Amino acid sequence: MAQASSVVSINRRKRCVSLPFHGFVVALAVILLCFVPINVSAAARREPPQQQLPQKLRFGRNGEFKILQVADMHYADGKTTPCLDVLPSQVHGCSDLNTSAFIQRIIQAEKPTFIVFTGDNIVGFDATDSAKSLNAAFASAIAARIPWAAVLGNHDGEGTLSREEVMKHIVGLKHTMSQFNPSEAHIIDGFGNYNLEVGGVEGSGFANNSVLNLYFLDSGDYSTVPGIPGYGWIKPSQQLWFQRTSAKLQRAYMSPPNVQKSSAPALAYFHIPLPEFASFDSSNFTGDRQDGISSASVNSGFFTTMLEAGDVKAVFTGHDHLNDFCGQLTGIQLCYAGGFGYHAYGKAGWSRRARVVVASLEKTEKGGWGAVKSIKTWKRLDDQHLTAIDGQVLWSKNSAGKNK
């Protein structure tokens, strides 16, 4: 029964299947990308909804900033929505409420500073009312009064709200720092492209500096370009916004009065993995790779864009629920979180999971808190003990990618 559910669910999710990277297809796609105009219907010319943002994100007095990543909740109608791909002993009574309970348990255990939901927050085609499903999906984070942010996946807009309407709804929820789109970008593809700055410890010499930068991007849902099948990708308009934002943040960090020799580290969050996630084999990543890499069938070049910018140290995605690995490619860690939601396809006996990331500050010569010295990660499993696995250092000032 679980196996059948898995096949049906995977097929439903992968209705647009990525093609292999053949040279001709990639070459044709790159040419098309240069000439295809921005889809105005998907570009943010509209006035973003008004929102009351929480106070500025900043490191705690312990010198840490902890992020909980929740990928692929696939929330639908709550108690009446069944679980997929669980053990026979778990089937009875299993529903979306198990997803909510997992969030509550992990919030209590980890006490994160910030929560990031990386898309497919709801599964639109199974949600009777998308707005109610969104409210229920984020309810645990809201109840905990923890600042949170979200990006869209390929399933969020397949219900009673469009992707644009879903993002507008998210922006209006309590305690969210999600943004509809950057106000300075008059035309940009997608919905939910924004950045957040994380300040140093209050009262320290870095209190007014953004010592950690967070980028959030809409990786789209499905290709809208004729002749290019498969999933969406991060478009040139989004990459241009990223480049300008990164350059501005780096200039500010390395300018008076608190001049730094290098840029502050940054993390990027979006739903659909980049083609570069397929670069690893069992010898050079930490975690599990049990799914194919369901990226777009065209390489939009965003990995190279991040590499050239120089500040992004790690990328975090979802989409492929049975992958939870991190691998380093040319100085950037590419990480999956692993599937979180119980109405998402999974693998019976392979626990639902979430990724935790902690950035830690260094001590200054005078004993105060300074800049970021390291970024570490681990995963929490939804088992009896909320087991923590696969601890590793993603980045440090001296080295990167070493296991603890």
pLDDT in tens, 294-308: 999 999 999 999 999
* pLDDT at 17 (0 to 100): 40
pLDDT confidence of residue 401: 41
Confidence at residue 35, expressed as pLDDT on a 0 to 100 scale:
37
- The CATH classification of domain 64-396, taken from the options 3.60.21.10, 3.30.450.40, 2.60.40.10, 3.90.1640.10: 3.60.21.10
Q: In the prediction, which pLDDT does 258 show?
A: 85
User: Would you state the pLDDT for residue 117?
Assistant: 98
* pLDDT attached to residue 400: 41
- The structure's pTM equals 0.88
The predicted pLDDT at position 33 comes to: 42
The pLDDT value recorded for residue 120 is: 98
| 3 state SS of 334 | strand
Alpha-helical segments (H) within 182-300: 236-253
Number of CB atoms found within 10 A of residue 343's CB: 27
Would you call 184 exposed, middle or buried from its count of C-beta atoms within 10 A (0-12, 13-18, 19+)?
exposed
Place of tokens 């105005």: 40
Please give the Cα distance from 117 to 354 (Å, whole number): 10
Q: What is the DSSP string of 260-280?
A: -SSPPPEEEE-SSPPGGGGG-
Residues of the chain with pLDDT under 50: 1-46, 51, 400-404
